[in-house]
Structure 1
Amino acid sequence: MITPLTPAELRAWPLPDRRGSKDERGGVLVIGGARPTPGAVLLAGLAALRIGAGRLSVAVAESVAPACAAQFPEAGVLSLPQSPEGSPTGADAAGMTQELSRADAVIVGPGLDEPQGAEALLSTVLATAGDTAVLIDAFALGVLPGMAVTLPERTVLTPNLTEAARLLDRDEADPEDAAVLVAERYGTVVSCAGIIAHPDGRQWATASGHPGLGTSGSGDVLSGAIGGLLAGGCTPEQAACWGTALHATAGDRLAARIGPLGFLARELTEEFPGLLVEFGG
């Protein structure tokens, strides 16, 4: 049976108390940001803060790190060694060990664009995660099928349907069962196409959502929202359910106010604080 994520369902599943200092509210580290696509990391980081995370660090290709620091003064910025083309190589970065140890949740994948570097970064995260929550998204999902790894217990995968098909070694994925099949194969919570699946068989589905969500950067916002909730102490399934539901509802609100198409991914993040109040988060 699929549980619909209505406002009443969310209110009956309250988020952990996230009051206190920035450290008590949880720290997020977002790793990605090749030279052509640093915005993916910035969108994920912005969503994490808007959803209530207290502290944010982002790790991006060294050539774009200064610009990201200027663009996003709320975030600490870590420079990643890069190839001549501007892709993070996965080589050791000064300060990475410290940032990983400080983070309550790590998001890896947004804005990556090269498989070897993505695999090296993901391997580093998985080898050092410990009790830290991990969210795998975007290009990092693309390299996951070829890696012989055991995912940490507090892991969430956020594939789109194209990425889900790759995770399942198929030509295409069915939106009706993609999340369930990926959750079964990888033994972790999955949010895909508005459906959240737990490997134990539980399923939830958003009760809202609008075609306007199919816009550049929307998936990065979803990952950041879920990552921010993980950092605040949510279980993987609660973070995925709340993050996916708030992301979808934000799309509905923007569609009603701005129009069915044309709203921007960054505008979704501006809806999160009010929706959290509305849903008792």
Structure 2
Amino acid sequence: MPSRSEVITPALLRDWALPVPTGGKEARGTVLVVGGSRFTPGAVLLAGVAALRAGAGVLQLAAAESTAAALSIQVPEALVVGLPETDDGAVRGDPGDRLTDLLAEADVVALGPGLNDIDTTRGLLHQVLSATGPETSLVLDAYALGALSHEPDLLVGSGRKVVLTPNLTEARHLLDRDPGDDLDAEALDLARRYEAVVSLYGHIATPDGRCWREESGDAGLGTSGSGDVRAGLLAGLLSRGAEPAQAACWAAFAHAVSGQRLVPRYGRIGFLARELLDEIPYTVATV
């Protein structure tokens, strides 16, 4: 039997209004994006800018040291820290490096955009979990999900506020089988298995059985970097005070509708992920 889920509509979101923090940038929280490699620094840029567009107050980027200078110029709003690299350009952590201090100070950590090595990512995941407390929200994306699939009990019983953002390939690794056609049910299976909120292609589920689905997404969102934008958007909403399920629903809707807003200019499949960024604030503000 297909699982039941509630359609995410503007009316639903208006009744589930996002927090609007008052005061300085600290009131809107600090997002730390950990990711990238020598060859994929753009993923960190997209996720970081999306977090700011969604309302985060402070942005910090931790990426491959060979890309740090360029990122600091491209995203002047962010503190950028270079992380050690392997000979192949993959990012690796070090318990004694600056990353540990940044993790301890962050309100939200997004791990995964642009990472490209499963072994180094597993090390980073453990570093994130050891350096952050239960009050820190986590967004796990891309290779971080692959790392989690190797240790499926890592989050169980932790009580952490975690959102997983798998695509179908990543869902297959997390499930250890091919996903079926009922993505509501698959999202719920993942949420219960990993004790985290799951956002699977607009199908959102919580470990306690609540489910939603976003029906506005179109083919144009299936473009390089789009997932990085979604992960950063989610992190920014968490940073401003949204609860994980609320942030996941708002992020799914804002991601999809921002794509719709680009269709008149670029067609259904002609826009780029970076063009979604400028649409996010208006989309969120006009729900």
Structure 1 match to 2:67: 64
**Is 1:136 paired with 2:136?**
no
Alignment-mate amino acid for residue 263 of structure 1: F
Q: Does the 8 A contact of 2:184 with 2:205 survive in 1?
A: no
Distance of 1:25 and 1:256 partners within structure 2: 33
Structure 2 match to 1:209: 217
Question: After the TM superposition, which residues 96-107 of structure 1 pair with which residues of structure 2 at under 5 Å, given as runs?
Answer: 96-107=99-110
Report deviation, 1:216: 0.2
Report deviation, 1:134: 0.5
Q: Does the 8 A contact of 2:50 with 2:230 survive in 1?
A: yes
CA-atom RMSD in angstroms: 1.3
Query: Where does the alignment leave 5 or more consecutive residues of structure 2 unmatched?
Result: none
Q: Secondary structure at the match of 1:233?
A: coil
Q: Does the 8 A contact of 2:55 with 2:239 survive in 1?
A: no
Query: Where does the alignment leave 5 or more consecutive residues of structure 1 unmatched?
Result: none
Structure 2 match to 1:266: 274
Q: TM-score, normalised by structure 1?
A: 0.95
After superposition, the Cα gap between the structure-2 partners of 1:104 and 1:219, relative to the gap in structure 1 and judged at 3 Å, is: same
Distance of 1:172 and 1:207 partners within structure 2: 19
Distance of 1:95 and 1:210 partners within structure 2: 40
Question: After the TM superposition, which residues 193-204 of structure 1 pair with which residues of structure 2 at under 5 Å, given as runs?
Answer: 193-204=201-212
**Is 1:164 paired with 2:171?**
yes
Alignment-mate amino acid for residue 162 of structure 2: T
Q: Secondary structure at the match of 1:185?
A: helix
Report deviation, 1:176: 4.4
**Is 1:146 paired with 2:153?**
no
Q: Does the 8 A contact of 1:210 with 1:255 survive in 2?
A: no
Distance of 1:178 and 1:105 partners within structure 2: 26
Q: Secondary structure at the match of 1:34?
A: coil
Alignment-mate amino acid for residue 83 of structure 2: L
After superposition, the Cα gap between the structure-2 partners of 1:220 and 1:109, relative to the gap in structure 1 and judged at 3 Å, is: same
Q: Which moved more, 1:175-184 or 1:70-79?
A: 175-184
Q: Secondary structure at the match of 2:28?
A: coil
Q: TM-score, normalised by structure 2?
A: 0.94
> Percent identity of the aligned residues?
50
Please, which of 37, 42, 45 is the counterpart of residue 45 of structure 2?
A: 42
Q: Does the 8 A contact of 1:134 with 1:152 survive in 2?
A: no
Deviations 1:245-271 (A, max 9, x none): 100111111123321111010111111
Please, which of 259, 263, 285 is the counterpart of residue 255 of structure 1?
A: 263
Please, which of 23, 41, 45 is the counterpart of residue 20 of structure 1?
A: 23
Q: Secondary structure at the match of 2:271?
A: coil
**Is 1:29 paired with 2:35?**
no
Structure 1 match to 2:285: 277
Q: Does the 8 A contact of 1:161 with 1:178 survive in 2?
A: no
Q: Does the 8 A contact of 1:129 with 1:152 survive in 2?
A: no
Structure 1 match to 2:189: 181
Alignment-mate amino acid for residue 144 of structure 2: A
Deviations 1:189-210 (A, max 9, x none): 0000111101111001113111
Distance of 1:119 and 1:152 partners within structure 2: 20
Alignment-mate amino acid for residue 239 of structure 2: A
Structure 2 match to 1:224: 232
Deviations 1:207-252 (A, max 9, x none): 3111100000000000000011111111110010101110011111
Report deviation, 1:70: 1.4
Deviations 1:171-200 (A, max 9, x none): 445434321111121011000011110111
Q: Secondary structure at the match of 1:177?
A: helix
Distance of 2:47 and 2:277 partners within structure 1: 9
Alignment-mate amino acid for residue 207 of structure 2: P
Alignment-mate amino acid for residue 187 of structure 2: A
